[in-house]
Structure 1
């Protein structure tokens, strides 16, 4: 195996070749033959996504009701394996994504890479699809919380000042984020939104750290950088929104008001996918800011009360 760093080989080797061999072994056909086709590719239709979300909430709330009078089930080992695998898979997808994007950014620049239809390559489409499948897998996170009977908010105090139940806010954020991220990835795949790689690459970066954090804490380790992980999630959504709103503005300005509104030109993707993406990412930003504020403000208040 020769190591030769170049624009097309930012890691010294071409990772996609090794991925292609692994993919072919598992699927039975080369990765180069993959195409996302609605109604043919698994989990590629809107009814499947809707049924997935409904099933997710049914299992979660039904499972919590069934577990009310039961003891937590032992699942520490499986929870650790779950988080290790998600850390490794997220890291692998992140590396593959970077390998595909770096040559485009180097040769064609940022605007081409986030807006050109030609930037949506078969290799990237497969990585985006696998990332979408991982979002289905990540729904299992909540299943572990149910069988462990673990409340998402460790703080027992009620925010009396604002009349807000901390556990309810924390649980809503978890359920909403998990289900809607899966739906978000689906809409961007269908819409062939070229700018998808920006939120995906940031999300994968956060998830490598997040699932590693979950794994370490499951082993009993005390991790000092949890607060900074939440901060990183907020920064992620801020960057997402700056980029997404910019290209969405440019698309609509160029398409409908090019005579008098400034713009950078058009951008690949459907209008419905752009609208859904803007709405979901905006809601994430406000939810995580509120999560951060309530978590660490409440901890400060508890320290004052001691």
Structure 2
């Protein structure tokens, strides 16, 4: 009898394992691992039951039953949480990348003078080409005869990462600014080891501009071609090169101000995108574009002030900031104007 019960337990466990393997593809390896471990446990108990005496058989049958229940629970758990594994992958990859950056730079460059001047020129050149060519290919060729991709899970994780990263950046910048011997409003970069932390934050801000190019990739894969304008791509490319120049030639000092302002606005922006994906009402939605325009005006005023009153910071970099801010003002003012016109047009059509 014990052998029959053990055999039944083994068959039930095997059936449960087969069901667990039908979960999400992304969690298949985890499901197989759970199933394999549980199958070994059931086989062990079944073998012991078949060899046991009549006195020990009832207890071992109970053990076999408990094992079957554990297999069923783990199988259901793997199946139900497969989507979570799929969503967290991109967030984990980016987080690991940032941690690796921190370790590498801290270990090798913290004691160097002006460590950030060694950054590569090849990287922004290659990424600019890949970005422009890749987006044009996706938009005009690859996606022409394809249905839009459903990328909600990846976009949720991407926007969550950007929100948390920019919150962390704002807090870290403020911590460095208000620290003893921190940078002033118009100071030059401290290129000694004492200024490494602030420089590293600016360097991270620059590297995040590569990640932000995913904004356009998501648009292309979802066939939101009306959003992929020349000004949109120009914005991403110009910002990338502007921050490369800052990191290469003056990574520190008053450079923190633009990164701090930009990180603050990006907290609002990516949090809004995240809430929209989750279908949660965002209280600052109507003020987001005005906040972005205010950011550019403040950064432009900061650049003019620094150009007038400082001799520590390179004038050509300040002029570059003025150029970038004027470009951003034109870009977002046009976007704001078009949005207002569409709103008025919709209001008039409803009134008629």
TM-score, structure 1 normalization: 0.73
Structure 2 counterpart of 1:114, from 160, 171, 186: 186
Residues 183/303 of structure 1: CA separation in 2 closer, same or farther (3 Å cut):
same
Task: Map 1:230-269 to 2 at 5 A.
Answer: 230-248=289-307, 250=308, 264-268=309-313
Partner of 2:201: 127
Of 181, 184, 198, the match for 2:242: 184
Residues 224-282 of structure 1, C-alpha deviation per residue, up to 9 Å, x if partnerless?
Answer: 5322011000000000000101212x2xxxxxxxxxxxxx34132x3432222221111
2:331 equivalent to 1:287: yes
Q: 2-side partners of 1:267 and 1:114: how far apart?
A: 8
In structure 2, the gaps of 5 or more residues are 1-97
3-state SS in 2 of match to 1:103: coil
Are the equivalent residues in 2 in contact too, given 1:114–1:195 (CA < 8 A)? yes
Which TM-score applies when normalising by structure 2?
A: 0.64
SS of match in other structure, 2:316: helix
117 and 78 in structure 1: CA distance in 2 versus 1, 3 angstrom threshold:
closer
Query: Which one has a bigger Cα radius of gyration?
Result: 2
Contact 1:76 1:218 in 2 (8 A): yes
User: Aligned residue for 2:126?
Assistant: 51
User: 1:25: how far off?
Assistant: 9.8
Indicate the residue corresponding to 2:267 in structure 1: 208
Structure 2 Cα separation of the partners of residues 100 and 276 of structure 1: 25
Separation of aligned partners in 2, 1:265 and 1:68: 52
- Alignment check: 8 A CA contact 1:73 1:148 kept: yes
Question: Partner of 2:217 in structure 1?
Answer: 143
8 A Cα contact 2:160 2:271, kept in partner = yes
Query: 1:82-127 CA deviation, whole Å, 9 max, x = no partner?
Result: 11011111111111111000135xx67x8x3422444981111100
Rounded Cα–Cα distance in structure 1 between residues aligned with 2:101 and 2:320:
36
Aligned residue pair count: 246
Contact preservation (8 Å) 2:189, 2:254: no
Rounded Cα–Cα distance in structure 2 between residues aligned with 1:173 and 1:238? 19
In the TM superposition, what is the alpha-carbon distance from 1:289 to its structure 2 partner?
Answer: 1.3
Assess if the C-alpha contact under 8 Å between 1:32 and 1:123 holds in 2: no
Find 2:153's aligned residue among 66, 77, 84. Answer: 77
Is residue 293–residue 329 contact of structure 2 (8 Å, CA) maintained in 1?
A: yes
